[in-house]
Structure 1
């Protein structure tokens, strides 16, 4: 299937641009991700230099996910990962699925009017860890050229359905000397095999066929670990993947049953892998001699005879790569039928690492939809849980809402779908086509129109708690490998879903308590425009002790308060309510007295939590405000005709530090147009950024937009500080603007 993104940029344009970039930068592999803005996801459109199955787990990624290409797009910068150690530290989820040595760069594709996506480049393990300034310039220039190619496309690029694999180099032209080269190889006393980057055998000589024990015609076009049962083990494929990704020479020794040890030396480049095969020394005796002339057809193995140890590889493998097995090494094994391929194993590791990062049920559903569905080429998802004897759907993707309404709430013993039976037995069910499904559940295929299904029980401690359904828009057989991986994956999904449901229950309780304690509405006061926002952290418990309030004292006097209780839990939310009550009880007194009395209330509560607070007494009739703070960030101040910035306040400790604290006050003249932005520290504590610089930047933004509606200004300040929208802490904001009073 041709990706839609390929068609939209014209045949070959994006392919040529990527291949040229890989050659010019000296990279070993590369790919172009296109940004799907509505879905906020990156789709791999075209790639070269690595097998397609290696990139499968990363063919679609949410922009918010932690990966180099997503960071490049989100932060609009070049991301350089120098080594596997750097990858493990910065991107542990990606490192779990790619445990190889290589260097990596990701750069955004800056178009004329939008970011098109990201360029991804990989270098061999031999690349220096530091990228020079000149090299970084080449990478960013290449990204701009690809973005220009996308800008010039007659039809805008769209998210592809699947990535297109292209060669890095052009096909080598036919040369008469190739026959002489083949004759030369045939005369050597060792086997020669050529693999393409997908791992398929493109050439082997008769000696190699003899050593491998199979006719050459039956091996060409196959992958060795699939066509040779004794190589059907993760070890062989993992060595191949190490060579093709790290571009390191790799050597290993394995047993060809019953008693022949073979040594494989893999030498990779941009076009494929050359493999040298020789006899190896057995663990318990002298090694067999190199084979003699191969028999006709190259099928029968050469006889074993005492001889010498085969020579060492011509190019030593760098540190950290696979090395030849010494005498006594464990053989690769006979490889049981149906053994999972190493790519599936690493894919499972990648998905397992991703599932550990999910928090809420919505996170689990999104992860399964964004990464697990593409990994298994599925089109639809339904997650359901057993609740009071019924199947309650907790999440879905790729289904019409009317179908979901019909399936939601079915009894567990329903014959409309296999989900109930799967829950009752704990045994997965696979249906390759509608006819197979209709034999047991005649009405099921007619409901959704899907053509193949995998029903996976979600089991926790031996107890089925739900069912995960993957569905397909086309008939599809399920191999033993896929069934094994999907069944294992269901266990990981069950654990993640169970944690997420518990989290959601606690969160709903705590968040409901917090919302009940925040003011439902703010008073309308002549001469004062007011706007407020509370935003929970986008990650973690999503509930904390941030609060704000505006308290009317009389028609021309109000009190404004903002604060932050330490912690993100139910205790913090409950204490926040008690602090607000204490402030309400003393509002109208001098600001320093309000804070002092609130501090004594905290001492009486004997809590271990501390509270930052800023209290402001506003007298609109006199155009004057008096402020006092307790360890809280000073408000941003803008007055027409004056430079904006934080309002200087005398520092004071947090509430709860000492029962006998005193608090200094600050006077402020409220001229018409004076705007104050009160906020909690979650607004300015952006990871990797200087809070002072962010504060100064926000003050300039406030001055530039102070005349706008206060609600729009508050929203703009939050977006300006947190461009990604993923807040790491709660944010409370209160914006106050003095207006001319009408008589």
Structure 2
């Protein structure tokens, strides 16, 4: 709430890490109704959303207006296409990212967030992090896997509505009052006289009679009696009261002279409700959780329910026809953008209503006006209740394919496509189960499943196209098949195994450019109808999914080829050299599955040994192929006895002659194991790190030339260094030290500290430790290659025993 206040926002929330790796969950939501924002309760850290970016990169994200948000995060605006600004600040616990503080506020086009606001919001995030750190120290892990906790924002300048309880003995005039009623009267409970006269003395003189009239009516009727009166409050201003009393049926004999009731302090606007009742429009108000707090007489008539049935209830729960997705979008728009929204709606039963929503700090006011049935109007809804069946619904439904289409463009593998469908499609339609089958060699094989009983789908895996089951027939016929209940499914396909007795199913053909790709099954845990618009949208989405899967299959084929090339070209075992121990590691990046062009090598050249590491620009088959050519070139030049400068210059000219349209960085060091003297050349590659025998580490300052493949006459000067006995040299590619928004020197210094702090250990342990630390980074856009070389005494077998090139760390 402090964050909302300091940033001038109207709503906010806090995301925390889930116990599920790579997932954030909304832990707190302030100022907005949680159920209307269910699709945003979960956020994967690798998704292109500002919450994920702030967490992954450890940097605040500020979006001033919808134009900036659309430019930077189109998927966010596809789901929330409203004019609003937002701020996202990472929260750290003990230096480790644990969540993101999120603030929604009015759009400020062309006006960036001020420095003071950023600083104050950063302070709030730090305070939250400190509080979470204290919880962690006390044994409570700062993780969240439940529904978000709703938080009401503090009221603005107007005082809150307060309710006090009283007990009135009519015979004696004694009154018992609770603490809240005493607070309304401006007195301490111990100082309250306990008489009805004391209460009457605080009322406006003309309203005292109403108090006695209420007592007579309540005692005589036995039912509740409500009257409005005015009270002179402790602030000196006139407050409107709503006093309700009824005979106490549990008081036994003499009950007719004993009343219990409530006194409601409605605030300082005594004429507002009466004035609203005189207006020719229906008026009701909602708090920021969607609860009805007031409605006038005409609103009661138009909504078809008494005030007592509506006040205090959530709008779309007490009036189910208001739960239409289009209406929910209008409500979201008003609450997020803080701007009025106008639309036409049809209640059940009719008439049509023109509705205007006017948002404010504490909620919104709705104005209802009866209107004639329109032939068509933007924002109108032609059928009441749930489902898609209207121009407005179609407009709202467009967000679904747009959001899914944007997400699918970023998915490159079949599993990533399936994950996007799970995250985007299921929540949009309220589904609980999903299965995706891909067609391979005339049979359908299960690619992805979620929500089905374990093992249930095994019997359908690998079925031929002649099988009479809906998952096959939807593909062979090219038509989607919908079953509004499991009974309908069983009737259409007698004997088909079913995982549930209750629910609904949709079978969608996955066809792209006329080619059969597979089929998609959506499962629902309750029977449901599929309107024409539902069917149209789902069929369109199936086409998008099919295109994405077709693209992913091509990518998977290319990626498999690239991985095969890389596996062949990288050394499977490093040579064992006297006095020198080596260890190599490779770690794939977390963004996409493209194989990079990173490589390392150890080459015996007579009495010396060459240490090589390089990185070809780009990813995929082309990068892997170029990497193989360069590795072969360096080996050929090294084994031919060329000095380091000639090795680098010759490799550079060869890359230019090959003209692959790529460049590469490289570091080549020739070491004499007996003396420790080494000669090094660099071509645009990061500086090596040298750890001395005493455990200190330094970043070397070796001369270097430009990257390979740019200038045929580029010079590559040679630097000389000494590797003492017990020292270790670390060569690495830029994926190890690069981080978005951070200077590369910061990453190199971090690596230097890691090597220095780990201390003396076998090279295999050191390499594993460095890679483990790199794996902790939530965002690694590039692959990492690491080559360690240490010089030891010949008898130090413990440190020279590792001759293998362990490249098992290929997964993120």
TM-score (norm. length: structure 1): 0.78
Residues 695 and 759 in structure 2, CA contact (< 8 A), matched pair in contact too? no
Residue of structure 1 equivalent to 2:449: 396
Q: 1:543 aligns with which of 575, 595, 610?
A: 595
Residues 135 and 142 in structure 2, CA contact (< 8 A), matched pair in contact too? no
Provide the C-alpha distance between the structure 2 equivalents of 1:132 and 1:654, rounded to a whole number of angstroms.
Answer: 40
Q: Does 1:670 align with 2:723?
A: yes
Label 1:55 to 1:277 Cα distance change in 2 as closer, same or farther (>3 A).
closer
Give, in angstroms, the shift of residue 581 of structure 1. 2.0
Residue of structure 1 equivalent to 2:571: 519
**Corresponding residue SS for 2:619:** coil
Give, in angstroms, the shift of residue 525 of structure 1. 2.0
**Corresponding residue SS for 1:708:** coil
Provide the C-alpha distance between the structure 2 equivalents of 1:732 and 1:379, rounded to a whole number of angstroms.
Answer: 41
Residues 194 and 203 in structure 1, CA contact (< 8 A), matched pair in contact too? yes
Deviations 1:460-516 (A, max 9, x none): 2354421112234x3332452655543333233222222211211111112212221
Residue of structure 2 equivalent to 1:275: 366
Residue of structure 1 equivalent to 2:170: none
Give, in angstroms, the shift of residue 619 of structure 1. 1.7
Give, in angstroms, the shift of residue 689 of structure 1. 1.0
Residues 60 and 371 in structure 1, CA contact (< 8 A), matched pair in contact too? no
Q: 1:418 aligns with which of 470, 495, 504?
A: 470
Give, in angstroms, the shift of residue 222 of structure 1. 6.0
Provide the C-alpha distance between the structure 1 equivalents of 2:686 and 2:772, rounded to a whole number of angstroms.
Answer: 19
Residues 695 and 756 in structure 2, CA contact (< 8 A), matched pair in contact too? no
Label 1:652 to 1:381 Cα distance change in 2 as closer, same or farther (>3 A).
same
Provide the C-alpha distance between the structure 1 equivalents of 2:433 and 2:458, rounded to a whole number of angstroms.
Answer: 15
Residue of structure 2 equivalent to 1:572: 623
Give, in angstroms, the shift of residue 48 of structure 1. 3.9
Provide the C-alpha distance between the structure 2 equivalents of 1:145 and 1:703, rounded to a whole number of angstroms.
Answer: 32
Give, in angstroms, the shift of residue 582 of structure 1. 2.3
Q: Does 1:491 align with 2:543?
A: yes
Q: 1:133 aligns with which of 115, 119, 140?
A: 119
Q: 1:689 aligns with which of 733, 742, 767?
A: 742
Label 1:384 to 1:268 Cα distance change in 2 as closer, same or farther (>3 A).
same
Provide the C-alpha distance between the structure 1 equivalents of 2:131 and 2:666, rounded to a whole number of angstroms.
Answer: 52
**Corresponding residue SS for 1:100:** coil
Label 1:491 to 1:521 Cα distance change in 2 as closer, same or farther (>3 A).
same
Give, in angstroms, the shift of residue 618 of structure 1. 1.9
Give, in angstroms, the shift of residue 157 of structure 1. 5.9
Provide the C-alpha distance between the structure 1 equivalents of 2:665 and 2:241, rounded to a whole number of angstroms.
Answer: 79
Q: Does 1:431 align with 2:417?
A: no
Q: Does 1:458 align with 2:444?
A: no
Q: 1:245 aligns with which of 336, 342, 348?
A: 336
Query: Which region of structure 1 is more displaced relative to structure 2, 110-119 or 570-579?
Result: 110-119
Deviations 1:166-191 (A, max 9, x none): 65469944693477754432223444
**Corresponding residue SS for 1:567:** strand
Label 1:372 to 1:53 Cα distance change in 2 as closer, same or farther (>3 A).
farther
Provide the C-alpha distance between the structure 1 equivalents of 2:397 and 2:27, rounded to a whole number of angstroms.
Answer: 22
Give, in angstroms, the shift of residue 85 of structure 1. 3.6
Give, in angstroms, the shift of residue 597 of structure 1. 3.5
**Corresponding residue SS for 1:627:** strand
Residues 17 and 142 in structure 2, CA contact (< 8 A), matched pair in contact too? no
Aligned residue runs from structure 1 range 150-229, under 5 A = 159-160=145-146, 162-163=147-148, 165=150, 167-168=152-153, 172-173=161-162, 176=228, 177=240, 181-195=272-286, 197=288, 204-207=295-298, 215=304
Residue of structure 1 equivalent to 2:756: 703
Aligned residue runs from structure 1 range 316-327, under 5 A = none
**Corresponding residue SS for 1:99:** coil
Give, in angstroms, the shift of residue 429 of structure 1. 2.7
Residue of structure 1 equivalent to 2:248: none
**Corresponding residue SS for 2:682:** strand
Residues 373 and 379 in structure 1, CA contact (< 8 A), matched pair in contact too? yes
Residue of structure 2 equivalent to 1:284: none
Residue of structure 2 equivalent to 1:501: 553
Q: Does 1:41 align with 2:41?
A: no
Q: 2:708 aligns with which of 655, 664, 679?
A: 655
Label 1:122 to 1:629 Cα distance change in 2 as closer, same or farther (>3 A).
closer
Provide the C-alpha distance between the structure 2 equivalents of 1:486 and 1:524, rounded to a whole number of angstroms.
Answer: 60
Label 1:166 to 1:347 Cα distance change in 2 as closer, same or farther (>3 A).
farther
Label 1:85 to 1:331 Cα distance change in 2 as closer, same or farther (>3 A).
closer
Unaligned runs of 5+ in 2: 164-226, 229-239, 243-270, 797-812
- Report how many residues are paired: 667
Provide the C-alpha distance between the structure 1 equivalents of 2:490 and 2:344, rounded to a whole number of angstroms.
Answer: 50
Residue of structure 1 equivalent to 2:777: 724
**Corresponding residue SS for 2:706:** coil
Aligned residue runs from structure 1 range 631-642, under 5 A = 631-641=684-694
Residues 487 and 501 in structure 2, CA contact (< 8 A), matched pair in contact too? no
Label 1:400 to 1:665 Cα distance change in 2 as closer, same or farther (>3 A).
farther
Give, in angstroms, the shift of residue 550 of structure 1. 0.8
Residues 17 and 25 in structure 2, CA contact (< 8 A), matched pair in contact too? yes
Give, in angstroms, the shift of residue 124 of structure 1. 3.9
Residue of structure 2 equivalent to 1:335: 382
Deviations 1:647-694 (A, max 9, x none): 232222333444455532222222112211112233333221111222
Provide the C-alpha distance between the structure 2 equivalents of 1:577 and 1:587, rounded to a whole number of angstroms.
Answer: 15
Label 1:111 to 1:441 Cα distance change in 2 as closer, same or farther (>3 A).
farther
Residues 24 and 99 in structure 2, CA contact (< 8 A), matched pair in contact too? yes
Provide the C-alpha distance between the structure 2 equivalents of 1:410 and 1:302, rounded to a whole number of angstroms.
Answer: 56
Q: Does 1:477 align with 2:528?
A: yes
Residues 458 and 466 in structure 1, CA contact (< 8 A), matched pair in contact too? yes
Provide the C-alpha distance between the structure 2 equivalents of 1:612 and 1:25, rounded to a whole number of angstroms.
Answer: 45
Aligned residue runs from structure 1 range 621-636, under 5 A = 621-636=674-689
Residue of structure 1 equivalent to 2:12: 30
Deviations 1:535-592 (A, max 9, x none): 34433561233221112234x5322212223332423322322222222223242222
Residues 437 and 445 in structure 1, CA contact (< 8 A), matched pair in contact too? no
Provide the C-alpha distance between the structure 1 equivalents of 2:734 and 2:715, rounded to a whole number of angstroms.
Answer: 22
Residue of structure 1 equivalent to 2:263: none
